[in-house]
Structure 1
């Protein structure tokens, strides 16, 4: 699973890396501990051009009776994402890129505690998660746009910590993932364990304490 991540890159650096078209009403707020229900930055495709957006983390499907379902749908399993009712419509036409500086996982120690780890790219570039987004209106007709991060089996490095990891896309895969006419077979092929180099570091749990 992926339940915590950070995004600390400056807006101009993200714009250069993802080659998106700037919006006057968009800005990025650095955060070292993004969690489900938070607003997270993403990149979407509109008529073949990339634009930044903000989504609430925890996808609310069109048929939802209330927004609480988002607390259970902040991740989508790659193995079932194209078929599961909560995600299959978004998988067909509402895919997005979710940038991150790092993500976190916890491993149980022999003493019974949980040791947090921070995972980054060795290259220092942003991580890019494969995401889906949806639009939903509540009873007051307020529009809520939400998203989920797709997870897959861990690669050899991550398997030492956890049995899942987020799907991490490389720059040469961005257009294929965002393409509205993407072939399902090809899209599923992209949802594979990451083959690049990851930097995995033990960190203090103090980072996750509320202040």
Structure 2
């Protein structure tokens, strides 16, 4: 299947909200999914993986609470709330690398690393286990296949962009992953009432003659 980036962003935002993320973070999810897809990485697949884990149901257990030697939480860290914090506090990178422990779907941190790179006007390198990526906020150098979990992630100022990925204008999500996002998005739809059904039918029971 082939969809526009606008449709990716809208569907991802609604899916994140349906999964339990607050609207503010759901908007970040939409933008992040779009950013990944625009750089040729299937953000819809990554988001489907993340939402299926149900982290949004108890976000306080999946956000960084320890930020001294390494960022860590009570459980596996959610890349959305961790990424939002990284984007807001990108200035901390000037004191040295940020190390993150036990991160779910680490590729979803990339759009937030890009935001930090734009804020600091410098290339930033993101490594997790054996995977590496670098971005200046607009361009991205990264492989295609990323793990669903990383024990050790590191964000560092500096890096090289020798072969950045081409930008694309449309996304080609896996149909099963797209169905997963729509399933979560469906939770945000208000159930139909008799009144709404009548209004949707036009004149309803009124007689305009």
TM-score by length of 2: 0.26
Q: Which has the higher helix share?
A: 2
Q: By percentage of residues, which structure has more strand?
A: 1
Compare CA radii of gyration and give the structure with the larger one: 2
TM-score w.r.t. length of structure 1: 0.26
- Which structure has more relative contact order (CA 8 Å, sep 6+)? It is 2
